[in-house]
Amino acid sequence: NSICISSQVGCKMGCKFCASTIGGLKRNLTPSEMLAQVYKISEDINEKISNIVIMGTGEPLERLDITTKFIELINSDKGQNIGQRHITISTCGLVPQILELANKEMQITLAISLHATTDEHRKKIMPIANKYTIKQLLDACKIYINKTGRRISFEYSLIDGQNDNLEAARQLSNLLKGMLCHVNLIPINKIETQSFKSSTEKKIKDFANILKTRGIETTVRRTLGQDINASCGQLRYNYLNT
**Interval 13-57: pLDDT, tens:** 999 888 888 889 999 999 999 999 999 999 999 999 999 999 999
| Mean pLDDT confidence for 129-148 | 98
Banded pLDDT at 227 (limits 50, 70, 90): very low
240 is a domain residue: no
First-to-last CA distance in the chain? Answer: 31
- Over the Cα atoms of the chain, what is R_g? 17
- What pLDDT digit, counting tens, does each position of 77-115 carry? 998 999 999 999 999 999 999 999 999 999 999 999 999
In one letter, which amino acid is 5?
Answer: I
Q: What is the CATH number of the domain that holds 139?
A: 3.20.20.70
Banded pLDDT at 194 (limits 50, 70, 90): low
239 is a domain residue: no
Crossing angle of the two packed helices 134-148 and 166-176, in degrees rounded to 10: 40
Say which DSSP state 12 is in: S
pLDDT for the residue 191: 55
42 is a domain residue: yes
71 with 87: CB under 8 angstroms? Answer: yes
Residues comprising the chain, all counted: 242
Domain that holds residue 176: 2-228
* Beta-strand relationship, 25-28 and 8-10: antiparallel
Stretch (H or E) spanning 35: helix 31-45
β-sheet bridge partners, residue 113: 155
The pLDDT > 70 percentage for the chain reads 88
d(C-alpha 58, C-alpha 25), whole Å: 8
Q: How many domains does the chain have?
A: 1
238 is a domain residue: no
Q: Residue 131's CB: how many other CB atoms inside 10 A?
A: 11
In one letter, which amino acid is 60?
Answer: P
- Nearest CA to 8 among 52, 63, 48, 45? 63
Say which DSSP state 34 is in: H
134 is a domain residue: yes
65 is a domain residue: yes
Give yes or no for residue 73 having a pLDDT over 70: yes
pLDDT for the residue 240: 40
- What pLDDT digit, counting tens, does each position of 96-105 carry? 999 999 999 9
pLDDT for the residue 190: 67
58 is a domain residue: yes
242 is a domain residue: no
Task: Tell me what the pLDDT averaged over the chain comes to.
Answer: 90
Give yes or no for residue 230 having a pLDDT over 90: no
